Amino acid sequence: MRPAMQPGEALSGCWRLADLEGSPLRPGGLALTEELIGLAGFRPGHRVADVGCGLGASTRLLVRRGVAAVGVDVDVQASPRAAPFVAADAARLPFADQSLDGVLAECVLSVLPNRGAALAEWARALKPGGRLALSDVYGRAGAETARLPTREGLELTIAAAGFQIERFEGRSEVLRRWVAEFIFAHGSLDALCDGAVDPATLGRSRPGYCLIAALKPAGHFEKARHG
């Protein structure tokens, strides 16, 4: 059964969408997830949280690669099968300080009400030297909006949480195919903005898609706590 798209999820809520057969419908599919995992350097034995895991496809992919992955999502009904899962908010992870080797977040940061707070929480849970693997939409032109940050705004927010960005790779071409798949699955683009974003404003922002690999430097957690 295809999960319903809730108001406000729109383009940046693609991590929860599915096609007519129930397969995950998100820009680039699992092939792009493979690229993102490679950028972050997640290896067998690493403990990685797949935050905002939705249907759990990426969590299962990590498990198949030997990674000690756990999916995290507030929606218990969308919890992944055949993979570890915990119900939790993205900004309140149920993991101890410095207990994770990695955090994977696909199409989730842009839908959170406070991106900075979520990033700070992910940094708290990561070990020094741990990595954040992030994919999301961003605006390639115009002013930043609540759902569509500019590249500069996105990078500044990530850096402000204490991360060091190692790679930024544009993958905006995947959005064109994703839009076509969305129309096939949902009949039209009417549900794309779902009243949360004005279509004209969205168009002027020239939506793009990116992969980001970022490092939590050694000593960051202590500075954040004591400084």
| The pLDDT of residue 64 | 95
Residue 3 lies in a domain: no
| Residue entry with tokens 């034995």 | 45
pTM of the model: 0.80
Helices and strands counted in the chain (H then E): 8, 7
Contact at 8 Å (CB) between 2 and 54? Answer: no
Helices (H), 19-172: 29-40, 57-64, 115-125, 151-160
Identity of the highest mean pLDDT range in 121-130, 134-143, 168-177: 121-130
Q: Which helix (H) or strand (E) holds 173?
A: helix 173-186
Take residue 34 and report the two structure tokens written for it: 């493979």
Closest to 134 (Cα-Cα) out of 86, 142, 227, 159: 159
5 assigned to some structural domain? no
Domain count, the chain: 1
Nearest 5 degrees, angle CA 138-CA 116-CA 136? Answer: 25
Residue 178 belongs to a domain: yes
Q: Tell me the average pLDDT of the chain.
A: 79
- Decide if 149 is inside a domain: yes
Residue with tokens 């309140």: 92
Residue 59 lies in a domain: yes
Longest dimension (CA), the chain: 53
CATH code of the domain in which 82 resides: 3.40.50.150
Domain assignment present for residue 103? The answer is yes
7-48 per-position pLDDT tens digit: 333 333 454 555 444 455 577 888 999 999 999 999 999 999
The more confidently predicted of residues 202 and 141 is 141
Which residues span the domain enclosing 27? 11-226
User: Residue 1 domain-assigned?
Assistant: no
Residue 6 covered by a domain: no
Residue 72 is encoded by which pair of tokens?
């995290």
What is the per-residue pLDDT for 205? 62
